[in-house]
């Protein structure tokens, strides 16, 4: 039975529908957004009886993981919106629990079975799996503080996150960067050992390539890497000579992979699976370009934040990209 709308929801829907009727829809995202607001039309719905495009699977340790992974930034409101200060709140206002559930349902219809979440939002996947009797695979960040972390506290946190629904844990990107800068690569190794001892795959995330380089040099027990990867082919990207890592003075929140060529070349020799994130430059790169660039140049999986009205098109693009000869026979062998 359809849920009844209360007066406030009815008025809100009416206002949005009226606004949608008067707005131009020339752009890709505008068309998708207006379709999501149209009364009686499910976000991302399309006419006809064509089967939804299916995203192929890969293997991450013992886990079957879709090549496209739902990112969690749109759930938590981490917008990376340059100097638009309202966008994080807009994300959170739009992405109601109902819309988040709808996004996951749409993704599953395309074979996308995995989501990456901040620990504060693990309940999203846990509740979805419980209510819908599903098996959504969950990648959880783990956060470490070099000043307070010990073997015992790390083990306790690993147990807590697994109990909360995580199927694999990875050291979050900014945490990995910070530990390297603080000279605590040993703590990365301690965390990896604790995660693997708990029986789940263990990953390392980073924005700077130096984290991956250090882990490889020290032969840490890494099951996979989570590394940013995108071209700088968008107008808000800083010039090569001005690019900074997020922790360097003068950094602007507009480039997350400061040297994509070096990242591609180094990862070509890495024998662990590579989960690439920020492949769309936080919304600045069209999926048809970002997906092709990531997979053609070596990524095994791509973590992509998607609103409900983006899922159908993104999945269709990903399925086509992953079927291309240039991707299937790329330079870097598939590691998963």
- Measured CA to CA, the distance from residue 249 to residue 139 in angstroms comes to 31
pLDDT tens for residues 188-197? 999 999 999 9
The predicted pLDDT at position 322 comes to 98
- Measured CA to CA, the distance from residue 52 to residue 106 in angstroms comes to 10
Q: What is the residue-averaged pLDDT of the chain?
A: 89
pLDDT tens for residues 31-56? 665 565 554 444 444 555 678 999 99
Indicate if the pLDDT at residue 155 is higher than 80.
Answer: yes
Which residues lie below 8 Å from residue 274, measured CB to CB, with a gap of 6+? 224, 225, 227, 267, 298, 299, 300, 301, 335
Q: Which CATH superfamily is domain 57-328 in?
A: NADP-dependent oxidoreductase domain (3.20.20.100)
213: region left, alpha or beta (phi > 0 left; psi from -120 to 50 alpha): alpha
Q: Which residue has the higher pLDDT, 328 or 15?
A: 328
The predicted pLDDT at position 71 comes to 96
Question: Could you state, in order of their start, the residue ranges of all structural domains in the chain?
Answer: 1-41, 57-328
pLDDT tens for residues 255-288? 999 999 999 999 999 999 999 999 999 999 999 9
pLDDT tens for residues 106-138? 999 999 999 999 999 999 999 999 988 878 999
| Stretch 291-307: mean pLDDT | 98
Residues 47, 72 contacting (CB under 8 angstroms) = no
Indicate if the pLDDT at residue 11 is higher than 50.
Answer: no
Q: Which pairs with CB-CB distance under 8 Å and at least 24 residues apart come from 213-218?
A: 213/266, 214/180, 214/185, 215/185, 215/188, 216/270, 218/185, 218/189
């Amino acid at each position: 039975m359809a849920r009844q709308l209360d007066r406030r929801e009815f008025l809100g829907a009416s206002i949005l529908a009226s606004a949608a009727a008067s707005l131009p829809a020339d752009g890709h995202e505008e068309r998708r957004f207006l379709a999501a607001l149209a009364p009686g039309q499910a976000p991302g719905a399309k006419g006809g009886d064509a089967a939804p495009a299916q995203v192929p699977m890969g293997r991450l340790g013992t886990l079957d993981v879709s090549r496209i992974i739902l990112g969690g930034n749109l759930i938590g409101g981490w917008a990376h919106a340059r100097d638009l200060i309202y966008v994080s709140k807009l994300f959170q206002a739009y992405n109601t629990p109902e819309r988040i559930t709808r996004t996951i349902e749409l993704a599953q219809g395309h074979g996308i079975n995995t989501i990456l979440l901040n620990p504060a939002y693990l309940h999203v996947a846990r509740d979805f799996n419980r209510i819908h009797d599903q098996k959504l695979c969950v990648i959880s960040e783990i956060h470490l503080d070099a000043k307070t972390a010990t073997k015992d506290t790390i083990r306790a946190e690993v147990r807590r996150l697994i109990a909360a629904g995580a199927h694999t844990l990875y050291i979050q990107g900014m945490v990995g960067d910070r530990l390297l800068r603080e000279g605590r690569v040993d703590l990365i190794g301690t965390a990896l050992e604790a995660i693997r001892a708990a029986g789940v795959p263990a990953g390392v995330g980073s924005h700077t390539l130096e984290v991956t380089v250090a882990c490889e040099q020290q032969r840490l027990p890494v099951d996979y890497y989570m590394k940013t990867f995108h071209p700088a082919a968008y107008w808000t990207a800083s010039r090569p000579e001005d690019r900074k890592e997020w922790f360097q003075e003068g950094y602007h929140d507009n480039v997350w992979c400061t040297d994509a060529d070096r990242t591609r070349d180094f990862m070509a020799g890495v024998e662990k699976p590579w989960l690439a994130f920020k492949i769309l430059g936080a919304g600045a790169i069209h999926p048809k370009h970002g997906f092709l660039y990531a997979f053609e140049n070596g990524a095994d999986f791509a973590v992509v934040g998607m609103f409900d009205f983006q899922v159908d098109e993104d999945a269709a693009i990903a399925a086509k990209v992953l079927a291309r000869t240039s991707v299937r026979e790329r330079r870097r062998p598939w590691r998963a």
